[in-house]
Amino acid sequence: MADYQAVPTGSSTQDSSRQPPVTATLVVYLLFGLAAIGGIVGHGMLVGAPLLTIIGVIAVIVAYITRSNAQGTWTASHLSWLIGTFWWSFLWNCLGWVLAVTLIGLPVALAIWVATTIWVIYRVIRGYLYFHDSKPIPAV
């Protein structure tokens, strides 16, 4: 496994002496990854976004708890990225359920859930690649 170290991002507000919560951030990535895989395998992407499983909820709770320890480190952007991924996934899942209740909207709801699942997998993989290189996620 790669050796993760704090990498300064050039911001003068960061305290380079603080150690980032690398292990906790890695655990959040693993939990989100498991939630995404579990959502695909267990639900076939037909009941909503994968992060809304119990594993995804636990992951976002861990991310919120860890975020205060990550302030001023390169892992802070990762935790914000994952928290944002969860809440956007939640929003799209809710929209899918509203559409699914109307029988006419079921095909659209299924399309939203599939697209959300693909988007979540993309975000987890993209974020992890930056994490693996000990880099913050660039602002978009």
pLDDT along the chain (140 residues), means of 10: 51 57 90 78 57 81 92 92 92 88 83 86 92 87
Q: Which residues contact 106 (CB under 8 A, 6 or more apart)?
A: 99, 100
Q: Which domain holds residue 69?
A: 22-132
| Alpha-carbon separation of residue 50 from 11, 75, 89, 137 (angstroms) | 35, 23, 8, 22
Q: Is residue 17 part of a domain?
A: no
Q: Which residues contact 105 (CB under 8 A, 6 or more apart)?
A: 98, 99
Q: Is residue 139 part of a domain?
A: no
Q: Is residue 28 part of a domain?
A: yes
What is the structure's pLDDT at 11? 45
Q: Is residue 14 part of a domain?
A: no
Return d(Cα 126, Cα 133) in angstroms, integer.
Answer: 11
What is the structure's pLDDT at 56? 83
What is the structure's pLDDT at 118? 86
Total structural domains within the chain: 1
Q: Is residue 127 part of a domain?
A: yes
Return d(Cα 55, Cα 35) in angstroms, integer.
Answer: 5
pTM (2 decimals)?
A: 0.78
Return d(Cα 77, Cα 73) in angstroms, integer.
Answer: 8
Q: 């320890």: which residue's tokens?
A: 69
Q: Is residue 5 part of a domain?
A: no
SS3 63: helix
Q: Is residue 61 part of a domain?
A: yes
Angle at 118 between CA 24 and CA 21, to 5 degrees: 10
